[in-house]
Amino acid sequence: MKGVRNFAFLAFAAGATAGSSNPYLADGYLDLGVANEAYEKAKAFVSQLSNEQKNAIVNASSFTGTNVSWSEYENTDGVSGLNFYYYVSAFPMGNALTQTWNCDLAAVQYKAVGDEYKALGYNVVDGALLGPLGRVPEDKTLHEVYIWPWADAIHSGAMAVMCSMNRVNGTHSCQNRELLMNKLKTQLRFPGFVYPDESAQLSAYGAANAGLDYSPYADGMWSWSAFSAGLANGSLTQARLNDMAIRTVRPYYYIGIDKENFTTVTSDYPAYRDIRGNHSSMIRKLGGESLSLLKNNNKNGGGLPLNKPHSISLYGAHAGPGIIGPNHLWSVSGTTSDVYQGRLAQGGGSGQTSVPYLITPFNSIAERAVKDNTALWWIRNNTLEVATSDSVVSDAGTGNNPNFKSYAKVSEVGLCFINSWSGEGADRSLPYDQEQDNIINKVASECNNTIVVVNVSGPRVLNAWAEHENVTAIVYGGLLGQESGKAIADVLYGDVNPSGRLIHTIAKNQSDYPAGICETANCGFSIVVYVDYRWFDKKHIEPQYPFGHGLSYTTFSYSDVVAKVTNQSSLSSKHPTGKLGLGGEADFSMMEAQQPVLILRGFEKVTISSGDSAQVEFNLRRRDLSY
């Protein structure tokens, strides 16, 4: 299931006018604000067309008429960069970007992603994956958990939404009138077009009347003969066809395709068209800022940041490149295992990005070891078995047994790298991996300065080793893209202060999470609005690391919070944040409202120089306090 498609980062104002039984743009139900010009142009264009030409537009076809012509939209897959291309950038995945808690950086990344799509001729991005399963939410949960982020995306300028193959409350998404017409187009006042995921459209008139506007995957269901018959017998109304065409054309004018020439899309994928610019430096910065420092015991010279250690040993396949790379197998049917045997920088399937090259921690740490005269050893295998087993021999050089414990015993620092993998068509079977946990415990049994770097596709249980006295530091993040190794090394060596914060709760036990493994066609999850940290709060479960957790190499102080009512629809809260430490560092504040458990309603990340302070202000709307 794919989610919101952003044509542009421009915002528009959308407000309801008079009510309407049919949320058609022509009914005047929507006040399109600054986007009215695009609507008027689209309406004027469509008014010139025959019904057959309108059908061609919504059926994703091009045509050239006597006075008018139309070229279909060009779309392709990818969340954090283009799929199926060479010479494109592999940006951090969404779970890494979100862990920065930096809205400005998020805008920078997705502007860069959009620039690369545009440079190759695409004007529709088949973007973010929201969830692999259908849902049966009651009204409160539907609005407060699922619709909430869609409202913000739509009011920020999203011009196209893809309906999925999944069902919502028992009805397929692309034939769900309640979801598309009532919730999306009426309540949220969405003025763009809805189009289907591949294989998600199941009918002609049922889908059109439910709210599907544009379909590259109609497979003959929306042929002109079908539409002309539907118009004749009343299965499809003229008003609905007009609305479908106007909704489809309107983004064309909204993002200015009529004012500038887009590059023509070519199927010559190996052709050298380097459109990356300086995106590599941005990717490195984003990756470093996304990493969360969950634990750091830097007493007695251990922990982080590293300071020219005499020796380092690296452990785990995730420390270096896989046997084949940099891209792993593309598949819509899922992954072959819970972990990837190599540096994992992307997810799998339609959201997978074409990685042009991959900098691994092994690359970056080896480069730093040369600079610092550090001895470097490694075991880049998760299940290494040698004749010496785990016997510890402390002889030097070639006299040392090549196994986890022997290397760990003679290392000043033991760096363990672990990952978790998921993608389209499959998720992990468990929120942990015993083989990777065994590596860490073996290393920690002999090295009193064991540091673990975790890159995961979702929550990962760490209780098998997180409290081990010899595990001095844990760095936790998402999938970081092509500059993974540099971003990690920047944080390990203190060139970048870790300022990422957890975007999900890390439980002490798998059983602490509300949902277990379900292998039946219909699974009942009764958590309603109590998602993630809300569940832990409600059930009074102590997590291993809470939502929003993250340490720093410096310290911050907070003064008293001041709250005031500024008008009937908003509440403002502010408090100064001060920094005690050296260098320019970043921290952020959060404000939560009781409703009925704590729910995040605002955050702001600020950069503060040593000795300075900053005032952070949050504004609460009526929506934030309503339930």
Residues with catalytic function: 197
Residue found under tokens 């010559």: 268
Do residues 618 and 573 touch, judged by C-beta distance below 8 A? yes
- Alpha-carbon distance 33 to 35, whole Å? 5
3 state SS of 9: coil
**What is the dihedral sign for C-alpha 60, 61, 62, 68?**
negative
- Alpha-carbon distance 493 to 498, whole Å? 11
Do residues 584 and 608 touch, judged by C-beta distance below 8 A? yes
Beta strand 555-558 with 570-580 is antiparallel
The DSSP string of 141-174 is HIIIIIIHHHHHHHHTT--EEEE-SSEETTEEGG
Q: How large is the C-alpha radius of gyration of the chain?
A: 27
- Alpha-carbon distance 60 to 39, whole Å? 20
**Element (H or E) spanning 562, and its range?**
strand 562-567
Which of 458, 198, 429 is CA-nearest to residue 335?
A: 429
Do residues 614 and 608 touch, judged by C-beta distance below 8 A? yes
- Alpha-carbon distance 581 to 554, whole Å? 5
Other Cβ atoms closer than 10 A to 81? 29
**What is the dihedral sign for C-alpha 136, 137, 138, 142?**
negative
- Alpha-carbon distance 307 to 412, whole Å? 11
Measured in whole angstroms, how far is the alpha carbon of residue 57 from the centre of its chain? Answer: 31
Integer angstrom CA distances of residue 22 from 80, 155, 177, 403: 36, 20, 11, 69
Tokens for 26? 């022509």
- Alpha-carbon distance 236 to 191, whole Å? 20
Rounded to the nearest 5°, which phi and psi values hold at 256? 80, 30
- Alpha-carbon distance 482 to 78, whole Å? 15
For residue 483, give every residue at least 6 positions away whose Cβ sits within 8 Å of its Cβ, in sequence order, or none.
280, 283, 284, 287, 359
The DSSP string of 172-201 is EGGG-HIIIIIIIIIIS---SEEEEPTT--
User: How big is the chain, counted in residues?
Assistant: 627
Q: What percentage of the chain's residues is helix, strand, coil (to nearest 5)?
A: 30, 20, 50
The DSSP string of 342-376 is S---S-BGGG----S----HHHHHHHHHHHHT-EE
Integer angstrom CA distances of residue 438 from 275, 413, 464, 469: 43, 18, 9, 16
Tokens for 270? 């190996």
